[in-house]
Chain A
Amino acid sequence: MHLWENIQLALEGLRANKMRSLLTMLGIIIGIGAVIGIVTVGDSMTAAVTGEMAGLGVSNITVRVDPRGGGGTMGAMTDVMGGSQAIPQEHDLITNEMIERFVEFYPNEIRAVGLQSPAGIGQVESGRLSSNINLMGVNAGYGITGGVNMLDGSFIGDGDVASRRFVAVVSDIMVANIFPDGTNPLNQEIRVAIGNRIETFIVMGVFEHTTLLPPFVGGNAVNPNARTNLYIPISTANFISGNSNAHQNFTVMVQPHVNVSEFTSTTTRFFNSFYNDNPRFRVGGLPMDRVLSITETVMDTISIAVAVIAGISLIVGGVGVMNIMLVSVTERTREIGTRKALGARNSSIRAQFIVEAVIICAIGGILGVGLGFGLGYIGSTLLGQPTMPTVFIIVVAVLFSMIIGLFFGYYPANKAAKLDPIEALRYE
């Protein structure tokens, strides 16, 4: 009854006790703010990661040597995520010959095979200038499977690998660091300090540096200190590092018409024919779209965990509201008695206090949305993917905080409603 009057009354009450009202709301504000902020950042992160991964191509298949018994999908997953497992020996690895036969066997299905061999981290040095790099041996196919976006020159070619040339494809960031005067880097000689040796390469191409890592973890595209890849022929890289020419893993990109899942099985079968006699290792394949969906599942799980934590903080906020409402009922015992003497029914008193609790929580919720908006914007901007919370989540957040008010306001309101008017009028 008298909803509008009750709302006015509640607002009068809040105005009369500004500081207390704000402190009461704080739990709700922080709870709702955290939910909105974290969900926004989570959306932004999901968008960034899946966007990057989709950019790498959902038609990619990661092939790797896995330990028998266990591993499998999750083994491939940890590899994608940068983990490591039991280390295969030289004779357990996939050889270039196997890959060549694979490519010959499925000429119509395979678009490219990407090989890579890390050769360590170091710096490109030029006088007092330097740029952090990650020396990475690759084959020609890596340019396609890795989605390398060339800005100038050309990527490593088959001939460069075959002849073990000392050529390099460098990032735009390295170019900016080493050639600040705007010299055309193509065909320039660069000196790379790797471990305790110096190697010299001729620049043959420039690519655009992109990163899966959020900028604040050190991958910002405009961060001059970022460690960027420096691609050289895989044969040259193995020569420098002494690494095996065989592979623990590589990437296959299929032609657009090929069913990725089916071809993953085909690929796995093909390579496992070489591993029938190997008691410790086998070959596993993981299509990129699976990685994508696994990533999304992981993100969803994180979101649920966050929602649970936020839910707990909202319950704590709700208990705070209940506490202050109980104090308020006690303080206003005489007022309640007066209202009853003037003809207020129990239900009117109950409605008055419930509306007050709901209003406190609703205002807290709205302020919380504002806070979450700000936090989410800052967070997602830092992630390089500014994201706004959806209207849906804002409405849900405010409604949810109102439900908290209803839930935690009911007990104090009912206590007020059940006060004996005679006792209440006599209360000092």
Chain B
Amino acid sequence: MPVIKMQNINKKFYIGLPNELHILKDISFSVDEGEFVSIIGPSGSGKSTLMNLIGALDVPTTGSYVLDGVDVSTLSDNKLSDIRNQKIGFIFQTFNLIPRSTALRNVELPMLYGGLTAAERNKRAKELLQIVEMSDRGTHRPSELSGGQKQRVAIARAMANDPAILLADEPTGALDSTTGRLVMDIFHNLHKKHNKTIILITHNQNLAAETQRIITLHDGEIISNKRNQSKKRQKLVKGD
């Protein structure tokens, strides 16, 4: 049972205008539950547009997108909001924590929009901070955290409503290699121990080489979609 099933997705901008852009061309792929997939491609390949579609921030011009059993391609704005809230956990390159709120309240935020009570939110947020080993930083504001710590809080936040997928957009892009490594380890940990479905969007071949499957985009088309047999991946699997 695939968590994500995209069929013949096309995305065009400025439709009918002289400068019409055809960004995604006939994209079809699926992601199974518990998979750790990376989508790579150079800038301008349509990576971001595809991420916006996967993340239900946007709808395709044509084609169908079924996310966790729900056809997302034709939903209203409010329904898309609810889908993002319940089924998708966003992790951004620039963390995007709410600057005035504490780490704990940042983690609570998706649950607030999901309608959980204050007590439920608080309890769950504390558990999540524990998973990313940030329990002792709950009362700190983002400005008091390092980049790696911020991203760990952001990962905890992404998991708040136990979404169907974690969607990470260049999660290590703003981090040095050591903290980047730490964040990748958290992803592997979530994947293995918590059976999370993770989609990693990156232009970094080395990061992609750690995932189970690599989807390569070029000029709006999928040019390759295959299981990752690289040595790096073999080493990771062996290291279990």
Name A residues whose Cβ lies closer than 8 Å to a Cβ of B.
Answer: 2, 5, 9, 12-13, 16, 334-335, 337-348, 421-422, 425
Contacts and interface: CB of A to CB of B under 8 A. Distances in A.
B113 A343 contact: yes
Given A343-B82, A421-B57, A12 B101 contact: yes
B78 A343 contact: no
Given A343-B86, A344-B113, A421-B57, A338 B98 contact: yes
Chain B interface extent, by class: 20 to 34
A-B complex: 6 closest residue pairs judged by Cβ atoms: A343-B85, A338-B96, A343-B113, A345-B81, A342-B110, A343-B84
Given A341-B55, A342-B109, A334 B100 contact: no
Contact of A334 (B58, B77, B96): B96
Contacts of A348: 113
B100 A16 contact: yes
B99 interface: yes
A340 B90 CA distance: 11
Interface in B74-125: 77-78, 81-82, 84-86, 90, 92, 96-101, 109-110, 112-114
Interface in B5-44: none
5 contacts: A9-B100, A12-B101, A337-B96, A338-B96, A342-B85
A343 B110 contact: yes
Given A5-B112, A13-B100, A16-B100, A343 B92 contact: no
A361 B109 CA distance: 26
A335 B84 contact: no
A340 B58 CA distance: 12
B52 interface: yes
B113 A422 contact: no
Q: Is the interface of A mostly helix, strand, loop or mixed?
A: helix
Given A334-B96, A341-B55, A425-B92, 17 more contacts: A9-B100, A335-B99, A337-B96, A338-B92, A338-B97, A338-B98, A340-B81, A341-B84, A341-B96, A343-B82, A345-B77, A345-B78, A345-B82, A346-B77, A346-B78, A346-B81, A422-B57
B67 to A, nearest CB: 14
A341 B84 CA distance: 6
A336 to B, nearest CB: 10
B50 to A, nearest CB: 12
Given A421-B57, A422-B57, A422-B58, A345 B98 contact: no
B157 interface: yes
A425 B112 contact: no
Contacts of A12: 100-101
Contacts of B96: 334-335, 337-338, 341, 425
Contacts of B58: 422
A346 B96 CA distance: 19
A158 B239 CA distance: 125
A342 B80 CA distance: 11
Contact of B157 (A2, A13, A340, A342): A342
Contact of B90 (A16, A341, A347): A341
Nearest to B160: A342
Nearest to B83: A343
Interface string B155-175: 001000100000000000000
